Structure 1
Amino acid sequence: METKNNLKKSILNNITIQIVIAMLLGAILGVIIHNNYIADDAKNFSDKIKMLATVFIRLVQMIIAPLVFTTLVVGIAKLGDVKSVGRIGGKALVWFFTASFISLLIGMFWVNTLKPGVGLQLGTIDKNAANELTEKVEGFSAQNFIEHIIPKSIIEAMANNEILQIVIFSIFFGLAAASIGENSKPIVNALDKTSHIILKMVNYVMKFAPIGVFGAIAGVFAIKDISELLFTYAKFFSSFLVGIASLWLFLLVIGFIFLRNQMATLLKRIISPLMIAFGTTSSEAVFPKLTEELERFGVKDKIVSFMLPLGYSFNLDGSMMYMTFASIFIAQVYGVDLDVSTQITMLLVLMLTSKGIAGVPRASLVVVAATCGMFKIPVEGIALILPIDHFCDMFRSASNVLGNAIATSVVGNWEKDS
């Protein structure tokens, strides 16, 4: 009897189980509200219930900047020299750009093979819905790209949770601390202790994850007619899922090649972050939890603290796959012919532009809109994918988490042999 009670207690305490239950309950509640209340009341309910997700994501966001700064500085200081940082950074960037390029190719292959945009009717599309995104695209340039990478103030970067800018500052700070040697030890030790305190905060914050997922799912299902939406976008969404499945297969095979039997253990470790990212459509929401789980998996803290912040800016595999897929889909809808060389050029442009606006809300759509403008594809076509984008974002976010977890683990394994 006691064993059964302990088993029940263990299941109830399992955050992954809690999140799955929260998703199901959120979906059920959202459908009930959608089917039994008028649109305005359902919208009002959605806005209020989504506050649960907002609270959870904000709790996570308050941790990210100090966690990135403290762990990265301590990690670099422990690495000890510029040579070590350069070696690991080189491996990271080679992996990130290779994975990004293959992700873009997967999207390009499937959108050209399945042609989900060919023959689609535009009758009921609300083109005004794209205005907010097209406004963000205005002024998008190489200058903005550079300005986004280099922080003019570390305080401002932390206030805005600009991970890439915090990474740049932390790398300089960590290298300077390492070069001073013994004199920097008190500060490095203090930051090390601070990082452990913040990771303890992660445990507290993650207790709110099921509530946040419940609010996010209920809010979406309350205002969207899922059956009608999926019927209308059946070809687009099913084609997108084929692309995502191919991306996951590629990532898992590559992970198995490098990690072998450890791959199964890694997946068990990251199932909870994957579910949270899927439910909240935010890979950022699991950054602290993913940091903790990768360290438990056995990746050295100095590798995790260096790789993961870089990955969140340079290694968004799910988003990359979606960008080529969505851009060429819009071109297909409008009958814009893109030959192979043009599509390859588009792919290379996406490789660069996608790195410049990490942290921007709905960043994938902003990049897609910017790319469409560059290749004379009607930018208002972004409105075509807005109704279904939330559901695509669930899969994109989970894919981003999987890609970063595998990249960090593989580089961590390489460093064991160095």
Structure 2
Amino acid sequence: MKGQNKLFLAIIIALIIGVGIGGIVHLRYPESAEPFSKNIKLLGTIFIRLVQMIIAPLVFTTLVVGIAKMSDMKMIGRVGSKAMLWFISASLVSLCIGLILVNWLEPGHVTKLPIQDLSSAEDLVKSSKGFSMEDFVKHIIPKSIFEAFATNEVLQIVVFSIMFGIALANMGEQYTQPVIKFFDVIAHAILKMVGYIMWFAPLGVLGSIAAVVATNGFQIFLVYAVYLRDFFFALAVLWLVLLLVGYFILGNRLFELLRRIKAPLLIAFSTTSSEAVFPKLVEELERFGCNSRVVSFILPLGYSFNLDGSMMYMTFAAVFIAQIYGIEMSVGQQITMLLVLMLTSKGIAGVPRASLVIIVATCSMFGIPPEGIALILPIDHFCDMGRSMTNVLGNALATSAVSKWEGDLGDGTEEMKNIIE
């Protein structure tokens, strides 16, 4: 927790320094702005390449482990299928809300930044057109998994990972457990690397912001204001949808649930970590009346498969970066992006800012300059507060809904006795 606060402080300091340096160059040395911008952007390039370095192994290991472990849910049967129905539906709704609102509100159209990392704007326009059927098939099915890893072709890695994970899930446990454990350890090691790499983020922010301010002036702050306003509006819409569905299922008991989880919601908002409130959330859901077996089964799954706030943010952020660079994405591309994010976002819950790795991978896949992620890093902490809070609400509703469908949602009296005993 303290580490995340220090990182946030370091990013803010880097932002201020970057703005100061860029402002001096923009106002006093305008003739040097372009070469200065090109050189200082190398700091951002270092950060982005470090992130890109771990994309392929992160997607592969987290997906394989997540799918292979789903064999346990099949044994649970009815409860597992209801849980997955909720998770998939909620994830798709969250992604769609983010996609629809970012296209409607167009926060990235406040300004337009030049694209310097591609050979020409024409190449980008060409690459951002809709796929032909042949291109689509080639883009999905890998010719070689090693080639897909080498070029960070996320969708191809996803296809291979799903098939490999399903194969593991259908083999004997005596064979699969060592393999799953091996990949699980690798996944955790890579996620640990995410934490290390994020400490290079302040340098990336300094370089990217200084470059932008040096060449474009101070209009980047208008972009931040519009981005935060539109994102929290989109988050409010998502909350409204979740609460309406919750009321439809739970009735007036929804208000009791909200009273129960107000402390976990506040903690998640202030710490930007939905996992930090996991023990407290378990306790409050059992007091609310959810069956303890349902809670112990649904809630851990929800922390991997039901990240409503994070899902909405990923489509919102990816399309925002495309807008700020003036890249028009077709409806087909945006739907493909939605499905890619639906798959690649699983298994990285509880790792602060790990969703940024997935956004970088997705941007690269669709011809969007991945360095755009450095522009939103300074305000990502505030967005993360809203995301984490929404993730907690979504998981509380999912657990309560499945308990209600199972006929195991009591008034909390029995559960309170068990906790006291």
Q: Same fold (TM over 0.5)?
A: yes
Is residue 249 from structure 1 mapped to residue 251 from structure 2 by the alignment?
no
Q: Secondary structure at the match of 2:109?
A: coil
Q: What's the CA shift for 1:367?
A: 1.2
Aligned with 2:314 (options 312, 316, 323): 323
Q: What's the CA shift for 1:363?
A: 1.9
CA RMSD of aligned residues (A): 4.1
CA distance in 1, matches of 2:186, 2:314: 28
Alpha-carbon contact 1:144-1:356 (below 8 Å) kept:
no
Aligned with 1:295 (options 286, 300, 305): 286
Q: Secondary structure at the match of 2:77?
A: helix
TM-score w.r.t. structure 1 length? 0.58
TM-score w.r.t. structure 2 length? 0.58
Alpha-carbon contact 2:110-2:223 (below 8 Å) kept:
no
In the alignment of these two chains, the number of paired residues is 282
Q: 1:155 to 1:274 in 2, by over 3 A?
A: farther
Q: 1:340 to 1:138 in 2, by over 3 A?
A: closer
Query: What corresponds to 2:275 in structure 1?
Result: 284
The one-character-per-residue Cα deviations of 1:340-370 (angstroms, maximum 9, x if unpaired) are 1221111111111111544544122111111
Is residue 96 from structure 1 mapped to residue 87 from structure 2 by the alignment?
yes
Q: Secondary structure at the match of 2:326?
A: coil
Q: What's the CA shift for 1:119?
A: 3.8
Q: Secondary structure at the match of 2:249?
A: helix
Q: Secondary structure at the match of 1:336?
A: coil
Query: What corresponds to 1:259 in structure 2?
Result: 250
Alpha-carbon contact 2:112-2:326 (below 8 Å) kept:
no
CA distance in 2, matches of 1:122, 1:156: 40
Unaligned runs of 5+ in 2: 18-68, 117-148, 169-176, 190-205, 207-218, 410-421
Residues 79-158 of structure 1: pairs in structure 2 closer than 5 A? 85-122=76-113, 138=152, 141-142=157-158, 143=160, 152=179, 154=181, 157=184
Alpha-carbon contact 1:145-1:356 (below 8 Å) kept:
no
Query: What corresponds to 2:406 in structure 1?
Result: 415
Q: Secondary structure at the match of 1:321?
A: helix
Q: 1:285 to 1:399 in 2, by over 3 A?
A: same
Q: What's the CA shift for 1:120?
A: 1.7
Aligned with 1:240 (options 208, 231, 234): 231
Q: 1:285 to 1:229 in 2, by over 3 A?
A: farther
Query: Percent identity, aligned pairs only?
Result: 56
Residues 142-291 of structure 1: pairs in structure 2 closer than 5 A? 142=158, 143=160, 152=179, 154=181, 157=184, 232-291=223-282
Query: What corresponds to 1:58 in structure 2?
Result: none
CA distance in 2, matches of 1:376, 1:121: 16
Aligned with 1:405 (options 392, 396, 401): 396
CA distance in 1, matches of 2:332, 2:341: 14
Q: 1:283 to 1:229 in 2, by over 3 A?
A: farther
Paired AA for residue 411 in structure 1 = V
CA distance in 1, matches of 2:352, 2:224: 23
CA distance in 1, matches of 2:330, 2:87: 27
Between 1:145-154 and 1:249-258, the stretch displaced more is: 145-154
Unaligned runs of 5+ in 1: 1-25, 40-71, 126-134, 163-222
Alpha-carbon contact 1:146-1:356 (below 8 Å) kept:
no
CA distance in 2, matches of 1:243, 1:334: 21
Q: 1:230 to 1:392 in 2, by over 3 A?
A: farther
Query: What corresponds to 1:364 in structure 2?
Result: 355
Q: What's the CA shift for 1:94?
A: 0.7
